[in-house]
């Protein structure tokens, strides 16, 4: 029985973060798609939605909040794992209201992120994740 390799979109405006996350996902047997902006990611959805999205909140132009809002409005039911370096109670609340599967703070631990992706893609029991410090 062969297992399907999950496709996970990485949406982050920071080049170093995108590269690091891409390497991590590849090493874990996940097929990463990388996007430097919310706009380019949203444009890609019509071609093939990913199995999960790792989404930075604070990007110039189309923010992570905008991406979530537009995905919801367009009917895309892709699990979203939010990562942010600017944690606030308002951000956590807003992300949850938009239906994110997880909310993680940068720098994100490899195991924490891979576990969140596993839950979001069905490789682990589903439960919302918030990284503890």
Asked if residue 9 lies in contact with residue 35, where contact means CB atoms within 8 angstroms, the answer is yes
**Could you tell me what percent of the chain has a pLDDT over 70?**
90
Asked if residue 104 lies in contact with residue 112, where contact means CB atoms within 8 angstroms, the answer is yes
Domains, the chain, in order of start with CATH, read 7-124 (3.40.50.2300)
SS3 85: coil
Does an H or E element contain 68, and which?
helix 64-74
CA distances from 49 to 42, 54, 79, 128 (A): 9, 13, 11, 21
User: Average pLDDT for residues 26-41, to the nearest whole number?
Assistant: 97
- Six token digits for residue 92: 């956590």
pLDDT level of residue 2 (50, 70, 90 thresholds):
very low
Is the pLDDT reported for residue 76 higher than 80? yes
The position carrying tokens 């209201």 is: 97
**Is pLDDT larger for residue 8 or for residue 130?**
8
Q: Is the dihedral of CA 91, 94, 98, 101 positive or negative?
A: positive
Q: Could you read off the pLDDT of 101-133 as tens digits, one per residue?
A: 999 999 999 999 999 999 999 875 433 344 444
Q: Could you read off the pLDDT of 48-67 as tens digits, one per residue?
A: 999 999 999 999 999 999 99
pLDDT at 108: 94
């Amino acid at each position: 029985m062969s297992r399907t390799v999950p496709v996970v979109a990485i949406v982050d405006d920071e080049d170093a973060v995108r590269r690091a996350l891409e390497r991590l996902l590849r090493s874990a047997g996940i097929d990463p798609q990388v996007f430097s902006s919310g706009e380019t990611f949203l444009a890609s959805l019509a071609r093939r939605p990913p199995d999960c999205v790792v989404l930075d909140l604070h990007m110039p132009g189309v923010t992570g909040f905008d991406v979530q809002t537009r995905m919801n409005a367009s009917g895309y039911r892709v699990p979203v794992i939010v990562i942010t370096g600017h944690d606030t109670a308002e951000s956590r609340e807003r992300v949850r209201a938009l239906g994110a599967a997880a909310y993680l703070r940068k720098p994100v631990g490899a195991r924490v992120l891979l576990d969140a992706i596993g839950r979001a893609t069905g490789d682990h029991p589903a439960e919302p994740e918030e990284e503890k410090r």
